[in-house]
């Protein structure tokens, strides 16, 4: 007989007690009634969960990083060639008697609107030193007046050259190649981008402006197979507005030339060339922070001469070859250097001394009638040695084209 206060045993518990093989039974969790949320609240909660997801945050950060691009280099060169940059100064001279004019007035003189393109044209004229700002007005410079209203036979050409040597990037590239033939297009473009920081997408534009401007200033010789830049010299005539750009013989010397790097000098030993080693070649090589070596007492001791020449050429980082007089020994050593794929800086007093199949390599030409040719040649050799080390493709004989 059972009392009303006693509870009946649960079926699950009773079975487990009588059957030891039965699996333990987990008590059921109590069911809690949840009040349903409105549809809008569910959506908001879902959005919060997605936004808080680590994967979601990572994706947003990664996308942000991909979206940010490094700024491209800013073009410093004038965006118009020298001839086109004379248009505004000429209009002010012709229509305002050369008196300073406001930009609005200058635009009216040319019957054009004062637009962004007009502002760029003003900037180009200023970079050539043809215009300057005075009290909010545009003033024609003396340089522009010498070009447009010359008062002597040399006024115009000297002022045009001054303008080229004043323009950013244009003057730097001219000083780098003056007295030399321009390299092949690929190497020229690489040099413009790597050495002079011309933006890659502006190289074609710069080349056109550069060539048109130096042509206007009669600083280009196009009579031969390759374009050659006329060297107006550091002394007399037009002067560079500043020292040549320190891309090679100054700035790059300390940072990019290996310690104990050497330059093997190949030259004739007949007079007067034998003396050039101490007066020109050695100072130029040392200015580039390299150790000069040549095929004489510098490396010769006992033993076979050509074995030592071979070792000297093979161990050199760069070589310098004086091609004037077409010396047989120089050309023999040059052939070994080319066979080894060594960068070689070529120099010559005459273009006729350089074989046709070597003219695709950069050659330094010098003029001994110039009273300052020695100091200019030292500067050019030092600059070209560093350029050959940093950009060896410009100074290596391309055997695949033979």
**Confidence at residue 1, expressed as pLDDT on a 0 to 100 scale:** 45
The Cα 184–Cα 189 span in angstroms is 9
* 183 and 132 in a common domain: no
The CATH number covering residue 90 comes to 1.10.10.10
Are both 269 and 373 inside the same structural domain? yes
Helix (H) or strand (E) holding 137: strand 137-140
Q: Which of 229, 263, 285 is the last residue of a domain?
A: 229
Assess whether 108 and 177 both reside in one domain.
Answer: no
| Judgement on whether residues 144 and 159 belong to the same structural domain of the protein | no
Of 229, 244, 275, the domain-final residue: 229
Q: Where are the beta strands (DSSP E) in 163-306?
A: 220-221, 228-229, 262-266, 291-294
144 and 170, same structural domain?
no
- The C-alpha angle with vertex 249 and arms to 244 and 255, in degrees rounded to 5, equals 125
Domain assignment of residue 215, given as a range: 155-229
Domain for residue 315, yes or no?
Answer: yes
> Phi then psi for 92, rounded to 5 degrees?
-65, -40
Domain count, the chain: 3
Q: What is the pLDDT of residue 37?
A: 54
> Does residue 71 sit within a domain?
no
Same domain, 382 and 362: yes
Residue 292 sits in the same domain as residue 383? yes
Q: Which of 107, 128, 148 is at the close of a domain?
A: 148
Asked whether residue 124 is domain-assigned, the answer is yes
Would 115 be classed as within a structural domain?
Answer: yes
Do 223 and 267 belong to one domain? no
- Would residue 206 count as lying in a domain? yes
pTM of the model: 0.58
Q: Are residues 268 and 160 in the same domain?
A: no
> In a structure prediction context, what are the per-residue pLDDT tens digits for the chain, which is 402 residues long?
444 444 444 444 444 444 444 445 555 555 545 555 555 555 555 555 555 555 545 444 444 545 555 555 678 999 999 999 999 999 999 999 999 999 999 999 999 998 899 999 999 999 999 999 999 999 999 999 999 999 999 999 999 999 999 999 999 999 888 888 888 888 889 889 988 899 999 999 999 999 999 999 999 988 877 788 888 754 333 333 333 333 333 333 433 566 688 999 999 888 888 888 999 999 999 999 999 988 765 555 555 677 778 888 999 999 999 999 999 989 999 999 988 989 999 999 888 888 877 766 778 888 888 777 888 899 889 988 988 887 777 667 655 554
Predicted pLDDT at 241 = 34
Residues 263 and 379 in one domain: yes
Q: What is the CATH number of the domain that holds 277?
A: 3.40.50.300
Distance between CA 228 and CA 337 in Å, rounded? 26
> Do 258 and 397 fall into the same domain?
yes
Distances (CA, A) of 338 to 291, 319, 361: 21, 10, 11
Q: What is the pLDDT of residue 319?
A: 93
Residues 308 and 379 in one domain: yes
The strand ranges marked E within 232-367 are 262-266, 291-294, 318-322, 344-348, 363-365
């Amino acid at each position: 007989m059972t009392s009303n206060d006693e509870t009946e045993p649960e079926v699950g518990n009773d079975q487990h007690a009588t059957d030891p093989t039965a699996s333990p039974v987990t008590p059921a969790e109590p069911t809690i009634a949840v009040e349903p949320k409105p549809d809008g609240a569910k959506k908001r909660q879902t959005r919060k969960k997605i936004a808080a997801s680590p994967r979601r945050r990572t994706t947003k950060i990664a996308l942000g990083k991909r979206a940010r691009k490094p700024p491209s280099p800013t073009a410093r060169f004038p965006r118009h060639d020298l001839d086109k940059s004379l248009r505004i100064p000429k209009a002010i001279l012709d229509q305002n008697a050369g008196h300073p004019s406001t930009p609005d007035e200058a635009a009216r003189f040319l019957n054009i609107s004062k637009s962004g393109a007009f502002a760029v044209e003003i900037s180009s004229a200023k970079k050539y030193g043809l215009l300057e700002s005075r009290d909010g007005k545009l003033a024609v410079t003396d340089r522009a007046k010498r070009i447009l209203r010359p008062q002597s036979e040399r006024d115009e050409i000297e002022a045009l050259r001054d303008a080229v040597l004043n323009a950013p990037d244009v003057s730097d590239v001219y000083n780098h190649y003056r007295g030399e033939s321009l390299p092949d297009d690929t190497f020229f473009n690489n040099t413009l981008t790597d050495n002079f920081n011309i933006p890659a997408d502006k190289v074609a534009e710069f080349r056109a402006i550069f060539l048109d401007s130096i042509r206007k200033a009669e600083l280009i010789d196009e009579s031969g197979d390759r374009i050659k830049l006329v060297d107006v010299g550091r002394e007399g005539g037009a002067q560079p507005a500043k020292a040549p750009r320190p891309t090679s013989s100054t700035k790059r010397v300390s940072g990019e030339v290996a310690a104990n790097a050497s330059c093997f000098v190949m030259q004739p030993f007949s007079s007067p060339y034998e003396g050039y080693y101490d007066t020109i070649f050695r100072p130029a090589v040392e200015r580039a922070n390299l150790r000069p070596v040549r095929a004489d007492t510098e490396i010769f001791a006992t033993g076979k001469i050509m074995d030592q020449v071979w070792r000297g050429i093979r161990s050199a980082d760069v070589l310098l070859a004086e091609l004037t007089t077409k010396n047989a020994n120089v050309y023999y050593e040059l052939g070994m250097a080319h066979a080894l794929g060594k960068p070689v800086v070529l120099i010559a007093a005459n273009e006729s001394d350089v074989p046709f199949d070597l003219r695709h390599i950069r050659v330094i030409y010098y003029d001994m009638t110039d009273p300052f040719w020695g100091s200019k040649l030292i500067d050019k050799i030092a600059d070209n040695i560093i350029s050959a080390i940093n950009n060896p493709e410009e100074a290596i004989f391309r055997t695949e084209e033979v």
